[in-house]
Amino acid sequence: MEQITRKTRVIEAIEPASVPYDELMAAGQPVILKGLVRDWPMVSKGSPNDAADYLKSFYQGRPVVAFIAQPEHKGRFRYTDDVSQLDFESDQGLLDEYLDIIIALLEEDEAPTFYIGSTDVDTFLPGFRTENDLVLNHAMFEANPPLVGAWIGNRSTALAHYDMSNNIACCLVGRRRFTLFPPDQIHNLYPGPLEPTPGGQVLTMTDINAPDFERFPGLREAFAAGEVADLEPGDALLYPAMWWHEVEALDGFNVMVNYWWNTTPDFMDTPQNTLLHALLSLRDRPEQEKRAWRDVFDYYVFGPADRAAEHLPEAARGNLAPMDELKARRLRTYLLRRLNR
């Protein structure tokens, strides 16, 4: 079976306070920060039971959302065969009870999969970051405080998808494998429907571990561009927004904490809304019109931010000038009126 052979770059023995986050982000490539969080108390717990008890010590009883997949799916959170819905259940309950279930299933070969993802650490595990937290002493994070989430479960696979935020994923309990693809491989990863999705982002229709190259021939090109990052407890993985990533939790009990952040102002709208409106307004136009509109977008949007306004008097630049909160509010109001016409 063909596999991805390229390994993600590793930086060894880096001190938590010395990570050059600005340089790493400027490089635009994934990188493993080996042992970055090895000194966190969560990492030092000697057994799944001890690690679960440590998590329970911070939990204060607020219900969490868990995804549950049946044993026959082998931990893969996927679509039904007809792609009409997601083939797993969503449940709400108490974290300590889910932890007890996961621990009880450690020795079961055919266990259902429990996956508690993107759970806000400060909300659900208050005090955890007092003892377990990254040193983010760069201005980039002061201006854009990260959203810190916990990911807890047994053996599972989150199918390849992209997120609109930069990410630092910290492996705390159990091993994890990330399979990563650059954004330009989207057409070779055969995304599923825009809805339903488990968290707002489309999933690949392919099985990276058992690739069907006859049905998905472009996957070979994706494999040539992809890379694999294997994480041990104490390691962290940094990768930029929009990189596709499949995440496998490889052991019977796994805990990860991640830091999501963007460097764009809060007043900027999500590009996902732009995509949906482009489906409404552009996709089904004649090809020659679409080519013309591609040129328009290259000029106004995808080229240098100041190009479209540089030849205009400053007073005449309007929305072509740098966006700010007031302009964003006015533009949003104008668009809402246009959409509701």
pLDDT per residue as tens digits for the range 110-122: 899 999 998 999 9
In a domain, 173, yes or no: yes
Res 201: pLDDT: 85
CA atoms within 13 Å, Cβ hemisphere of 322: 3
* For the chain, percent of residues with pLDDT exceeding 90: 86
* Confidence grade of residue 129 (pLDDT, cut at 50, 70, 90): very high
Residue 191 vs residues 120, 188, 195: alpha-carbon distances, Å: 27, 9, 11
pLDDT beyond 70 at 225: yes
* Confidence grade of residue 1 (pLDDT, cut at 50, 70, 90): low
Angle subtended at Cα 169 by Cα 165 and Cα 173, rounded to the nearest 5 degrees: 150
Whether residues 198 and 276 share a domain: the answer is no
Least confident of 90-94, 195-199, 308-312: 195-199
Whether residues 32 and 151 share a domain: the answer is yes
> Phi/psi at 297 (nearest 5 deg)?
-65, -40
Q: Has this prediction a pTM greater than 0.85?
A: yes
* Confidence grade of residue 46 (pLDDT, cut at 50, 70, 90): confident
pLDDT beyond 90 at 108: no
Total domains in the chain come to 2
Q: pLDDT of 137-187, one tens digit each?
A: 888 898 899 999 999 999 999 999 999 999 999 999 999 999 999 999 999
In a domain, 5, yes or no: no
CATH number, domain of 225, equals 2.60.120.650
pLDDT beyond 80 at 235: yes
Res 159: pLDDT: 95
Closest alpha carbon to 239 in 183, 280, 200, 286: 183
- Write the DSSP string, 271-288: HHHHHHHHHHHTTTS-HH
Here the tokens at position 289 are 């019109």
Whether residues 121 and 146 share a domain: the answer is yes
* Confidence grade of residue 210 (pLDDT, cut at 50, 70, 90): very high
Sheet holding 156-161, edge to edge: 76-77, 156-161, 244-249, 176-181, 227-231
Give the domain-ending residue among 204, 226, 261: 261
Could you tell me if 34 and 12 are in contact, meaning their C-beta atoms sit under 8 angstroms apart? yes
Res 204: pLDDT: 96
Whether residues 122 and 223 share a domain: the answer is yes
Residue 315 belongs to domain spanning = 271-339
Whether residues 221 and 310 share a domain: the answer is no
Res 247: pLDDT: 97
In the chain, which ranges are E strands?
10-11, 31-33, 64-69, 76-77, 89-93, 113-120, 147-153, 156-161, 166-173, 176-181, 227-231, 236-239, 244-249, 254-261
Please name the residues in contact with 318: beta carbons below 8 A apart, sequence gap of 6 or more. none
Give the domain-ending residue among 261, 295, 311: 261
